Structure 1
Amino acid sequence: MVSAEPDPQRFRDLMVGGEPGFEGVMTCVFGIQTHESRTYLILLENPGSTVAELADKMERDRSNVNRSLATLLDKGLAMRERRLLDGGGHVYQYTATDLPEARELMHKTLDEWAAYVHNRIDEFGEETQA
């Protein structure tokens, strides 16, 4: 599920820091870590990857990749499918949400956050008037 909680400090940094790149905007809007946005980009280039494959490509520990994937799944930026192995058992394969849909999620999340901030602005001073 998409969370409407971009990081305010990251938002300020993004606005002051010059021309933001996709990865910077993604970390700001979704409130995720840089390594999580990097995981998304690697996954976008390598659909159907397993945790082990991603860990090798990213040179990161599998447990860290698992946490990044959990965040991406939670934000709607990745999908997971279970594939049965010929010798028994199964493995999970991950695919990034396609770029047009990810951009739409970014717009939606930012719009929700902006609406929340606008409501908070409108509430300022109401406590003292009551």
Structure 2
Amino acid sequence: MSRPESFRELMLVEDPGFADVMRCVFGIREHETEAYLTLLDAPDSTAKELADELDRDRSNVSRSLSTLREKGLVERRRKLLDGGGHVYCYAAEPLPAVRERLHEELDAWTEFVHGRIDDFGGPE
């Protein structure tokens, strides 16, 4: 079976991993999840450093970082260089905060589904 991209697909996975849950809940792709997990171990990396670590093209990694920033999973910081100019460094949101967001999203979805179940067969 392919990687889960929806709650329905996630429910069919016998033993989903953390990355599977992240992809499903946050609506991100496998390479974006890999970038997030790599940044956990290498905070304050540049897009080039992350691309080298992931063995991917820098432009692809930059797109992944953009998506992760939009989802609130990565923070970008501007770092001044000694010789002048600047570079952007990226850091993953701390794992405890991401875990909490995952719990909140799944709880909200579960509450929504319970409401649908409770509404089924009601007055018409």
| TM-score, length-scaled by structure 1 | 0.80
> Is residue 109 of structure 1 aligned with residue 105 of structure 2?
yes
Task: Provide the residue aligned with 2:17 in structure 1.
Answer: 21
| Residue of structure 1 equivalent to 2:32 | 36
Once the two structures are aligned, what percentage of the paired residues are identical?
58
Which one has more relative contact order, counting CA pairs under 8 Å at least 6 apart?
1
Unaligned runs of 5+ in 2: none
Alignment length (residue pairs):
121
Structure 1: which amino acid aligns with 2:58?
R
Q: Considering only aligned residues, what root-mean-square deviation do their CA atoms show, in Å?
A: 2.2
Aligned pairs for 1:45-60 (under 5 A) are 45-60=41-56
Q: TM-score, normalised by structure 2?
A: 0.84
Partner amino acid, structure 2, of 1:60: R
Counterpart CA distance in 1 for 2:80 and 2:121 is: 59
Q: Is the 8 A contact 2:5 2:27 kept in 1?
A: no
Pick one of 56, 59, 62 that aligns with 1:63.
59
